[in-house]
Amino acid sequence: MGHLVDGRVVFVRYGLPGELVRVRLNEMTTKFARGDATEIIEASAQRVTPRCPYAHPGGCGGCDFQHASLEAQLSWKGALVAEHLRRIAGEERTVEVTTLALTPHARTRLRCGVDEEGRLALRRYRSSDLVAISSCEVADERFADALATPWHGADEVELRAIGDGEPFAHVRRVTDRGTVFELCSLGGTPLDPSTHSRVAVDGHYYSVSPRSFWQSHRDAPAALLRVVLEFADVAAGDHVVDLYSGVGLFSIPLARRVGAGGQVVAVEASPYAVRDARTNGDGLRQLRVREWSVTPRAINDAVAPGDVVVLDPPRVGLGKGVAAALLRRAPRRLVYVSCDAATFARDLAALASGGYVLRDLRVFDLFPKTEHVELVGVLDFTA
């Protein structure tokens, strides 16, 4: 970050704190500017040489910190989360970011555009322009086959290497008759439309359909499941509500913990994920999977004062009225999983205003070489 002569802040990509760099400005507003560090005049000791050939000004916009050491990345992310908590939620807290096993090529999902020559591509930073790639430093190495395959006629290709079985591609094509999805091998050969991924997470098994969400880092599901179970701290006979429950990553282990005398209600809007969750939870009579959007009405119908509630919303955080509905129902504990520190802090502020206290917080580096983190907080009702 730097400043223009008129005092406006300049956000500098590819630079590190304390460096002297030459910057090319590429965006100007009345309040700030953005630019790229095109020449490093005095380098930080925490600068490293990017392993990715596309990590440079004008290149791929996927990774923010290919040029920063792991220590620098974790320090910056922790400071950013702490700043959001302080500024938005009034929560003063020192934040440490936990990295997972330093396994290269740990990303199991990669969503690509397709350029005019049929090559898989990622987008430039803050742009819809495509950058064709032949490799990806953070993604599963088996995707190399797909990156060498022409995908003429496709508009988007999501590569998946989730769990057991061979990786495959989920292909989207826009035709005169509408949008068509198909499954293919990484070499472009059509696959059976019923193809699913099968994943083992700490002794629990999940079927994940191609249009259901699953964490992109190979080690993320196990890391998140362990801390959610620790924070929820449920026992036999408890009642749990899992909001934004997906394919049941948390619901199913929680249902096993509460036993036949308890109940877990899983609330999920995606019909694909709901079908997966019902398959994954087959035989657990204490598990109820509801195909609902997470709205105030769903909260009123599903949540009671003695409950434990797990929330794992998308990046935009809790929907309109959801925090207020939770305050009215006053469950005894909330376990909030978030992939965005700013929306987490916003929702924390709303929940704290009604009597919830943040008892513990874990922050994970599930998106190495990017600015993103995953947070898991536990909030207890004290009013």
Contact 249, 221 (CB under 8 A): yes
| Same-domain pairing of 33 and 160 | no
**Residue closest to 98 by CA, chosen among 120, 76, 68, 78:** 78
SS3 of 168-214: EEEEEEEECCEEEEEEECCCCCECCCCCCEEEEECCEEEEECCCCCC
The residues of the chain scoring below 70 in pLDDT are 1
pLDDT at 52: 94
Q: Going by C-beta distance under 8 Å and a sequence separation of 6 or more, which residues neighbour residue 11?
A: 1, 32, 33, 34, 35
| Same-domain pairing of 226 and 369 | yes
Distance, in Å, from the CA atom of 56 to the CA atom of 26, rounded to the nearest integer, reads 14
| Same-domain pairing of 115 and 224 | no
> Which residues are annotated as catalytic?
339
| Same-domain pairing of 153 and 38 | no
pLDDT at 2: 74
Residue 319 is classified by DSSP as P
| Same-domain pairing of 165 and 144 | yes
**Residue closest to 195 by CA, chosen among 211, 180, 179:** 211
pLDDT at 176: 85
pLDDT at 105: 92
On whether residue 194 sits in a domain, the answer given is yes
| Same-domain pairing of 92 and 127 | no
For residue 175, what are the domain limits?
A: 109-199
pLDDT at 220: 97
pLDDT at 5: 81
Distance, in Å, from the CA atom of 198 to the CA atom of 162, rounded to the nearest integer, reads 7
| Same-domain pairing of 81 and 193 | no
Distance, in Å, from the CA atom of 261 to the CA atom of 254, rounded to the nearest integer, reads 13
Indicate the pTM of the whole model. Answer: 0.94
Q: For residue 273, count CB atoms less than 10 angstroms from its CB and return exposed for 0-12, middle for 13-18, buried for 19 or more.
A: buried
| Same-domain pairing of 91 and 115 | no
**Residue closest to 356 by CA, chosen among 375, 341, 324, 334:** 334
| Same-domain pairing of 165 and 305 | no
pLDDT at 1: 67
